[in-house]
A and B are shown apart, each in its own frame.
Chain A
Amino acid sequence: EAQVTQNPRYLITVTGKKLTVTCSQNMNHEYMSWYRQDPGLGLRQIYYSMNVEVTDKGDVPEGYKVSRKEKRNFPLILESPSPNQTSLYFCASSSRWPAGANVLTFGAGSRLTVL
Chain B
Amino acid sequence: QKEVEQNSGPLSVPEGAIASLNCTYSDRGSQSFFWYRQYSGKSPELIMFIYSNGDKEDGRFTAQLNKASQYVSLLIRDSQPSDSATYLCAVMGSGAQKLVFGQGTRLTINP
Contact = CB atoms under 8 A, between A and B. Distances in A.
Q: Do A and B bind each other?
A: yes
Interface of A: 33, 35, 40-45, 48, 56, 58-59, 90, 98-99, 101-104, 106-109
Majority SS of interface residues in chain A?
loop
* Residue from A43, A59, A106 having most chain B Cβ neighbours under 10 A: A43
Interface string B1-37: 0001010100000000000000000000001101000
A39 B103 CA distance: 8
Return the 3 tightest CB-CB contacts between A and B, nearest first: A98-B96, A42-B103, A106-B43
Given A41-B103, A42-B103, A43-B101, A102 B96 contact: no
Contacts of A103: 32, 34, 46, 49, 99
A40 B98 contact: no
Interface of B: 4, 6, 8, 31-32, 34, 41-46, 49, 88, 90, 92, 96-104
A90 B49 CA distance: 20
Contact of A90 (B43, B99, B102): B43
A106 B45 contact: yes
Given A40-B8, A40-B103, A41-B103, A109 B43 contact: yes
B46 A104 contact: yes
Contacts of B101: 35, 42-44
Contact of B98 (A41, A45, A106, A108): A45
B31 A90 contact: no
A90 B44 contact: yes
A45 B43 CA distance: 15
A10 to B, nearest CB: 11
Contact of B44 (A44, A56, A102, A106): A106
A16 B90 CA distance: 33
A43 B88 contact: yes
Contacts of A56: 97
